[in-house]
A = this chain, B = another copy of it.
Amino acid sequence: MSPPLIAVPLRADKIGISKPFLSVEGRQKLALIASLSHYDAGDILFHEGDRATSILNIVSGVGKSYSFLPDGREVIQAFLFPNDLIGPLDGDYFVNTVKAITPLVAYTLPLTALVQLLQSDPNLQWQFLTKACHELRLAQQHAIALSQNSAKQRLLMLLNLLRLHNEPRGANASQIHLPMSRADIADYTGLAVETVSRGLHQLQREGIIRLINQQCIEIIDQKVFTAALVSEA
């Protein structure tokens, strides 16, 4: 039996309530087949079309999973954060290229060992299934976000995504760190870089956010922010 797609960009906790990615027990079992790797910012972890021999579990750092449109533009399917699993597969092959945006540390999980482990451990596999379903919902939400035409709305959703990933880091909850470039944001939101820039400054003019520097944004008022996130036209 060919090992079909196991992995996917699985994110632990993106929208609202977060649950631990794996049980302690599950982590221990995975640790037995895992090894730690370090990557520099800009390193490519996997190439689209490559044969997959392993998938990664991010420990720290941020990455992006993307592919190319026929016209050469880049489309970012997902940003990858700590606790995420990296490796969207089709059969044995990667369907996306994955690149480190910041320096990145990750566990390497050999594919064959992982498949065997999951097949023999329904409980652990169950956690992966749960995760995959959760991930699916996030992808659908992303799709919705993209189908809404408002550039402002798309940017707000991205900021909210980053906000939820920043909080655990203990930093000031109203400060959002943007590890990726404007071009990455554009490729993720499906907008032009110029529109991203204009949109962010527009949000600043409206008093919703404050641009501290290119990598850092402050949310003026959480309530106003979430209100805009939900109801903006």
Contacts and interface: CB of A to CB of B under 8 A. Distances in A.
A4 interface: yes
Given A149-B190, A190-B148, A129 B125 contact: yes
Interface in A8-39: 8
Interface in A94-122: 95, 118-122
A136 B141 CA distance: 12
A134 B5 CA distance: 7
Nearest to A187: B147
Contacts of A78: 140
A137 B93 CA distance: 13
Nearest to A7: B133
Given A69-B148, A143-B77, A147-B75, A119 B126 contact: yes
A74 to B, nearest CB: 11
Given A125-B126, A140-B139, A143-B142, A133 B6 contact: yes
A92 to B, nearest CB: 13
Identical chains bound together, number: 2
A144 interface: yes
A132 interface: yes
A122 B118 contact: yes
Interface in A62-79: 67, 69-71, 75, 77-78
A93 to B, nearest CB: 12
Contact of A4 (B125, B133, B143, B189): B133
A111 to B, nearest CB: 13
Contacts of A132: 129, 132-133, 136
Contact of A77 (B67, B69, B71, B140): B140
Given A5-B133, A121-B122, A122-B122, 8 more contacts: A6-B130, A7-B133, A8-B136, A8-B137, A69-B144, A90-B137, A119-B123, A149-B190
